[in-house]
Amino acid sequence: MKTKNICFLVPLVLLLAIFICACGREGSGSSDSTLSVYRPVKAEYRTGGELIRAEKVSLGENADPVQGAAYAISALSADDKLDSVLPDGVEIVSAEQNGKIAKVTMNAAYRAVGGMEKTLVDYCIALTMCSIPKIDYVSIYVGSDLIESRLTAGDAVMKNTVVSSDEAGVRVYFPRLTGGLGYEYRTITVSGDSMPERLIMDELMAGPKSEQLSEALPKSTVPLSVYANGGICSISFAEGFLSDEALTDEDIQLSIYSIVNSLTGLADVDSVQILVEGREVSDIGGFDLSEPLSRKAGMSGFAVVE
Amino acid sequence: MRRLPVISSIKNSVQLKFAATFLILIAALLAMLNTYPTIVSRDLVFSSKQASLQNQASVMSSALSTPDKLSGETVGEVISLLDLRNLTRVIVTDDEALILYDTNKFDPSAGRYALFSEISRALGGEVVCYSVYDGEAFSTCEAMPVVSGGNVVGAVYLYEYDSEQAKLISEIQKNLLNITLVLAIAAIVLMLIFSRALTVRITDLAKATRIVSEGDYDHKIEIKGNDELTELGREFNDLTQRLKETEELRRRFVSDASHELKTPLASIRLLSDSILGAENMDADTMRDFVNDIGDEAERLQRTTEKLLSLTRMDSMAGLDLERLELKSVVEKTLRLLAPLAVEYKIAISSDLHAGCFIYGNEDLVYRIIFNLVENAIKYNVANGKVKIKLRRKNESILLVVEDTGIGIPDEDLPHIFSRFYRVDKARSREAGGSGLGLSIVYDAVKLHNGSVSVEKRKGQGTRFVVTFPAYAAEEE
């Protein structure tokens, strides 16, 4: 009996010691960052509908995240259902951060990769890099040749979000903590007395789910009516819309484009007319809302990569 | 009324077994009814949907198979010529999975990359098709490559959400369930009725058995229906009838026996009282009386002996059987009876074959022969004859005892083997008979697996024929 207990305890104690040491190595103070490395699912496991999957990888303390990501991408997966991102012979030569862009340089073998395979490589790299906070774009080079310019995570559609002719996913936009706009998918169900525009506004008012996003509109905002006609969606708010003194011009712009981007995501809506108490307003925080607004370059949102 | 706990457990067990078997069978059938048709219809819908979507995809793929590189406009033009109203979503991509055309109104994704596993497989040349039923709707998915000049230049992706077919199947399921419930209730009700009817009859039988065993042999079961239980009821009634008759016989035997014993005892009593009561009885008279007492005592003795042997035969547990040569037994018996024959002036003759072996008990066989010959002597006429024959016939040994005596009337012939039966009471009494002699013969012959019969002789007298099974040589 006694020897049995010892046999059981010794490995446990050893494991505990290793664990403590491992934790200790990661140190205290600055938190270690985790990265989502996107890898393709192996062909034999693709029957479930999933093509790529994220794997959480921790980067060491004070490591350069872009370097770390490049390293993780090149490495093999710990999960035996996931394939390697880079095909045989293809390597990441270097990776560096340029403001919001991650500049990834590949070796010459990358030029030979084409079709779906290239798309997978490109977007596994793009999604992985964009999971690093403050990276929004990825540019891919071979040598000094720019092959792919400013890939974003949002360019990749990961799955079919349409359930039925009445139920589907829509993109709802919110301000990001790292600046600009980001979007989340929400599923809405259209019925006789709720049109999609109304449902999208409801989701917008409900607020974001992700911690990387913040509320688009102050809780005091009251949408009164929504209706769409001939490509223009008109939405009327109660008096006091975005009239809080504390709001900066930038805040106001983000709020407005949260509304515009969310609603123009629908195929039938090309522009959004914002009204206050049913009337057009010419000045909200320096903004002229008398004309319908369409999407603006530089105000498109980014996908939230968890 | 004595309680019979065994009855209730039997009732539970039979009723339970019957009910359980029946219910299990019905339950199995109903389960099948509720699963099989649904599965079959669902599978039918699966194949029909996959076939139809595959068809549409083929048409689309062929239409898009142009030598020009696929672009948003060209795809749009081609697709607009097709009828895609049933499809919930249609996506067309180029060979890099860039979405060229998307019918999704909620989030049109043209210009983005479709990282779907179905599209990736289609771009690899595979035709992908699957259908899923979740109880609410059939969701069917189809992806097919677009081939031009032997190369895959793009892929089409079709998705259909159909709740109509699903509703039909739900309807079927609901209806089947309702039918199931109705059938289940009907089955349970019928089963209860039938098993109740069954157990009522069995309980009646049990009750009747109890009543009869407590002594009421007149109790009869009502004959209902025309099945095995009815048969049982009839047999039961026959059984009680036979019980009643046996009981009757027993009572009569006991009363006859006690009568036979009482009579000599009464005489003895009378005689002894007379002797004691008389004042001055002379020695000779007293001697006569005492003689008579002795005779009566002797009769009593004989009767009790015979009764004893009868009861012993009734409860014959272990009978000592051995191989017997009948000729010697008969001869021995005749020697013993010779004085009696002389007294009655009867001539005895015999025709005995040797080699008549039987498997029997010597004492009992002796008793058989003795009683038959004794009767033949006693119930004969003066200067009458008694003939004994012994011979083998096939597998049996025949012993015949015939006399030229007074004979037995026709109406008495069937009863002579009954206990205490006497044809001529007066003569029998005088001869010292007890009415048991032939019963003993009958029972003893029975114990030897033989048979005894009686018939009138042509002319006058009686013939008794005893048949024994011949002794079969033992097999080694």
CATH code of residue B64: 3.30.450.20
Closest partner residue to A164 (CB to CB) among B109, B115, B161 is: B161
- With an 8 Å Cβ cutoff, is A170 touching chain B? yes
B28 and B130 inside one domain = yes
B378 within some domain: yes
Closest partner residue to A51 (CB to CB) among B120, B159, B161 is: B120
Cα angle B220, B224, B230 (rounded to 5 degrees) comes to 80
Provide the domain limits for residue B279: 228-311
B14 within some domain: yes
Residue A69: is its pLDDT beyond 80? Answer: yes
3-state secondary structure of A235: strand
Kindly determine whether residue A164 and residue B137, on different chains, have CB atoms separated by under 8 Å.
yes
Amino acid at B193: I
String of DSSP letters for A54-83:
EEEEEPPTT--HHHHHHHHHHSPPSSTTB-
Q: Chain A residue with minimal CA distance to B157?
A: A160
Q: B234-273 pLDDT, tens per residue?
A: 898 898 888 888 888 788 888 878 888 888 898 899 888 8
- Cα torsion at A206, A211, A213, A215 (round to 10°)? 40
Q: B92-144 pLDDT, tens per residue?
A: 999 999 999 999 999 999 999 999 999 999 999 999 999 999 988 999 999 99
CA distance B137 to chain A (A): 9
**Averaged pLDDT score across all residues of chain A:** 87
H or E, element range at B156: strand B151-162
Residue B475: is its pLDDT beyond 50? Answer: no
For residue A29, the model assigns a pLDDT of 38
Residue B432: is its pLDDT beyond 60? Answer: yes
B151 and B23 inside one domain = yes
Phi, psi torsion values for B425, nearest 5 degrees: -60, -40
Query: Out of A191-200, B306-315, B394-403, which region has the weakest mean confidence (pLDDT)?
Result: B306-315
Q: Chain A residue with minimal CA distance to B104?
A: A162
- With an 8 Å Cβ cutoff, is B87 touching chain A? no
For residue A30, the model assigns a pLDDT of 42
Query: Out of A160-169, B116-125, B293-302, which region has the weakest mean confidence (pLDDT)?
Result: B293-302
Cα angle A295, A297, A303 (rounded to 5 degrees) comes to 80
Q: Chain B residue with minimal CA distance to A42?
A: B117
Residue B409: is its pLDDT beyond 90? Answer: no
- With an 8 Å Cβ cutoff, is A117 touching chain B? no
CA distance B40 to chain A (A): 24
For residue B5, the model assigns a pLDDT of 55
Give me the mean pLDDT over the A125-132 stretch. 93
B36 and B102 inside one domain = yes
Q: How far apart, in whole angstroms, are the C-alpha atoms of residue B142 and residue B58?
A: 10
| Angle, in degrees to the nearest 10, between helices A115-130 and A65-74 | 140
Q: How far apart, in whole angstroms, are the C-alpha atoms of residue B384 and residue B404?
A: 6
Number of domains in chain B: 3
Q: How far apart, in whole angstroms, are the C-alpha atoms of residue B78 and residue B63?
A: 7
Query: Out of A89-93, A182-186, B193-197, B334-338, which region has the weakest mean confidence (pLDDT)?
Result: B193-197
For residue B245, the model assigns a pLDDT of 84
B247 and B334 inside one domain = no
Structure tokens at A232: 């223009």
Indicate the domain borders of chain A: 30-155, 167-303
For residue B205, the model assigns a pLDDT of 86
Best to test chain B binding among A164, A261, A269, A305 (most B CBs inside 10 Å): A164
Residue B463: is its pLDDT beyond 90? Answer: yes
B64 and B89 inside one domain = yes
B160 and B12 inside one domain = yes
Sorted by sequence, the CB contacts under 8 Å of residue A56 that are 6+ apart come out as A34, A35, A36, A37
For residue B318, the model assigns a pLDDT of 62
B100 within some domain: yes
Sorted by sequence, the CB contacts under 8 Å of residue B326 that are 6+ apart come out as B352, B356, B357, B358, B365, B390, B397, B399, B468
B385 within some domain: yes
Residue that is written with structure tokens 């370059």 in the block: A297
B70 within some domain: yes
Residue A271: is its pLDDT beyond 50? Answer: yes
B253 and B375 inside one domain = no
| Residue A27's pLDDT band (cuts 50, 70, 90) | very low
B333 and B452 inside one domain = yes
- Cα torsion at A118, A124, A126, A129 (round to 10°)? -150
Q: What is the DSSP letter of A135?
A: -
Q: How far apart, in whole angstroms, are the C-alpha atoms of residue B89 and residue A36?
A: 30
Residue A283: is its pLDDT beyond 90? Answer: no
Structure tokens at B226: 């025309």
